Structure 1
Amino acid sequence: MGENSSPRRIRADAERSTARILEAAETVLAADATASLERIADAAGLARATVHRRFASRTALLDALAEQLSQRYLGGLAEARVKTAPPLIALHRLTEIVFDLKLCHRFAVQLTAALTPAVLDGLDLLFARLRDTGAITAVDPAWCRQVYLALLHEVHELPTDSPTLASSATAEETEAKINLLVRTTLGALGGSHGATALHSPASAASGDVRPVDHGS
């Protein structure tokens, strides 16, 4: 029993140390993207040798941060049910999740390596479904995804006192940004006024999401 439990305990300790390092790295690098492994070790409350044992180089640490965020993106795609939920509801829910991740991972979201092929495929599937239901008219899911990601950055960076946010029906800043991003994305990709109105939380909660008839 003792022989079996010791390796498990060592693995558990290593996992806890790794989690502490990644958490500290996220905080430290968000404040100073050039911070050294030594500063990250100090912030994690660990010996510098421990950090170097887990991550042989700064590049290895950045790769781990990107991988961690990629897994959370994949979890967000699953939670938003991009494969099965009505696509307008999935788009709104996914946007909520991504805004949450941007708040918690201010440094890692800048790492393009986090956008793995699996993450990009999930986004492309969502935009293909939006097109198929008539919510947008743009035919290339990859282009739709690029527009969405570009707008995501711009909307997230909007200052609190932006007139664009002031025109929102909600006083809550994050919700106003989510609504703005979804509405602007749909409009940019050829959605009609009816489609952009259907993304609202009230519509999502009631399930009142219908394909848009572009012939009317």
Structure 2
Amino acid sequence: MRADAARNLDAVLRTGARLLAADPSTSMGAIAAEAGVDRRTVYRRFPSREALLAAVFQAKLDSAERVLDEARLVEAPVAVALHRYVEGIVPVSRQWPVDVRRMMRADPVANARRETQSARLDRFVERAAAEGLFRADVPPAWARATLDHLVDTVAHDFPDLAPPQAADLVLKTLLNGLGPH
């Protein structure tokens, strides 16, 4: 793929993710205009909004897969792997703000891939609990749900917080709570 075509594709995907997250009924023409490309360019690659959304979901899944791999959830010490994961997934959440619940309904193949990634993270949280990162009275499912909500909050409600600082804040909150110690 030519460099300009790759840039255009990236612009369309990222713009589509942002605009469709804000308004799922955004037109392909609006996405093309915002991305700075011709409508025909978008339609040549994506014949429908659903096709574009499927490509956005795949791009988000590709990015999340890289984060899971780079965090080394199985090999690294749990606290290090957790920080790496959060620091990596915050930018993914910001770059690809589409709601994964839409993906679950719209694309069974992408949903299966997302479920596989989710299972990896579940196993990691269970490992973290078994190694004492969380209190013994906190079920791993609660720790996982809390982690997901904290990541979503820091990624979208605190966009000016750099990923390393966002990861620090998430881990402090997750591991220490909000009360004085």
Normalised by the size of structure 1, how large is the TM-score? 0.63
Which structure has more RCO (C-alpha within 8 Å, separation ≥ 6)? 2
- What does 1:92-103 align with in structure 2 at a 5 Å threshold? 92-103=83-94
Aligned to 2:175: 186
* 1:42 aligned residue (26, 33, 36): 33
SS in 1 for 2:76: coil
Aligned to 2:143: 144
Mark the structure with the bigger radius of gyration: 1
* Alpha-carbon distance change, 23 to 155 in structure 1, aligned in 2, over 3 angstroms: closer
Opposite residue 58 of structure 1, the aligned amino acid is: R
Gap runs ≥5 in structure 1: 1-11, 161-171, 194-216
* Alpha-carbon distance change, 126 to 158 in structure 1, aligned in 2, over 3 angstroms: same
RMSD: 3.0
The structure that is helix-richer by fraction is 2
**Contact 2:71–2:82 at 8 Å: present in 1 too?**
yes
**Contact 1:128–1:139 at 8 Å: present in 2 too?**
no
Bigger CA drift: 39-48 or 70-79? 39-48
Runs of 4+ in 1 over 6 A off after TM superposition: none
* Alpha-carbon distance change, 126 to 26 in structure 1, aligned in 2, over 3 angstroms: same
Paired-residue identity, %: 30
Aligned to 1:131: 129
Q: Distance in 1 between matches of 2:56 and 2:43?
A: 15
What number of residue pairs does the alignment pair up?
165
* TM superposition shift of 1:32: 5.2
Gap runs ≥5 in structure 2: 104-109
* Alpha-carbon distance change, 127 to 19 in structure 1, aligned in 2, over 3 angstroms: same
* Alpha-carbon distance change, 157 to 38 in structure 1, aligned in 2, over 3 angstroms: closer
Normalised by the size of structure 2, how large is the TM-score? 0.73
Bigger CA drift: 60-69 or 136-145? 136-145
**Contact 1:74–1:118 at 8 Å: present in 2 too?**
no
